[in-house]
Amino acid sequence: MSQLFSPATLRGLTLRNRTVVAPMCQYSARDGLANDWHLVHLGRFAIGGFGAVILEATGVTPEGRISYADLGLWKDEQIAPLARIVDFLHSQGAAAGIQLAHAGRKASSPVPWRNGFTETEAEKAQIGFEHWIPVAPSAIAHSSNPNYQTPTALDAAGIKGVIDAFVAAAIRADQAGFDIVEVHAAHGYLLNQFLSPLANKRTDDYGGSRENRMRLPLEVTKAVRAVWPAHKPLFVRLSVTDWHPDGWQIEDSIVLARELKALGADAIDASTGGFDGASVPVGPNYQVPCARAVREGADIPTIAVGLLGAPEEAEAIITNGDADFIALARGALDDPNWPLHTRLAVGDNDYSLWPVQTNRVRERHRSLKQHGFSAP
């Protein structure tokens, strides 16, 4: 049997297979509220056979959103639209996860496809445009790009407010029925900013040494784990390396992952990068060695992500022990039925993952003598 399509259990949750949809910002919300786009966009991945579907970076505060069009979970009114999505994912056999996030100094940035703040006054009223000054560990802009502002450095009260916001969002995520929460500490966003010496120039207990720079991500994880039900898994997404000689390194992530495991984290979603000036060796499977390094160094399950998708290679990542799960983002957009197609491609000709409404596909393969069928 394919190892990629074997079940996996984390705490009280058993995933039907080891395929995951990674969080993908859709920039399609207003006032942080999920809508029909999010339902259909996410629902098709559950229909397509993924084991878990993790919703996009969801702001724990309004000012923690990457843009005004991001999802949020800072108020109770945002629970019901998310619960509708969770219910559909469950109805199709997929686990539902949500990534809780704060963008820090990368907040209040433009919707990507606009290439800047091009909204007209009429559009602003229609789409719920908002613009604000972001917060960060230090008052240093992400880059010289004018789309990024100089943030306000968080004081002690602001840091406590961030922790409290993650806690409140986790409670709401449980009320919405999510199976998994993922704390976002990657891609140059707030918690990653505290970790990296590229962004964190503080001189208090949250800056300077690696121990101090890890303090806020650890405090957030501990606080979220305390309110997140014991039978539900908690993931943490890390940029395992900044790909910058003066930044966060793989060895740092191994140390952090050990601490996160001790606090009750169940898996590390192993991504990379997020800071200006990085030199990223982009290519197929380029982040898989990072997932393996953390898995071996911290003895914790990992999720491999980053330009994955070749069926045999995905299977090998699991069987070789590089990671415990395979996550797709752009690959899932390209083929929402990737698990269904991949299962056949690796020779596991079991159609039980296909929804009953799609039985005609099996009959098509039979007629064409494909995937193990020898006669029409």
Answer whether 265's CB lies under 8 Å from 236's CB.
yes
Q: What's residue 42's pLDDT?
A: 98
Active-site residues, by number, are: 189
| 162, two tokens | 């961030």
Tell me the backbone φ, ψ of residue 268, rounded to 5 degrees: -110, 120
Q: Is the predicted pLDDT of residue 25 greater than 80, yes or no?
A: yes
Q: Is the predicted pLDDT of residue 216 greater than 80, yes or no?
A: yes
Query: What b-and-e string marks burial along 331-365, b requiring 16 or more CB atoms within 10 Å of the CB?
Result: bbeeebbbbbebbbbbebeebebbeeeeeeeeeeb
Model pLDDT for residues 102-125, shown as the tens digit of each residue:
999 999 999 999 989 999 999 999
Model pLDDT for residues 247-283, shown as the tens digit of each residue:
999 999 999 999 999 999 999 999 999 999 999 999 9
Q: Is 76 helix (H, G, I), strand (E, B) or coil?
A: helix
Question: What size, in residues, is the chain?
Answer: 376
Answer whether 282's CB lies under 8 Å from 247's CB.
no
Strand 8-10 and strand 13-15: the pairing is: antiparallel
Q: Where are the domains of the chain?
A: 8-345
Q: Fold for 8-345, please state it.
A: TIM Barrel (3.20.20)
DSSP string for residues in 39-66: HHHHHHHHHTT-SEEEEEEEESSGGGSS
Q: Is the predicted pLDDT of residue 333 greater than 90, yes or no?
A: yes
The span from the CA of 266 to the CA of 35, in Å, is 30
pTM exceeding the 0.85 threshold for the entire prediction: yes
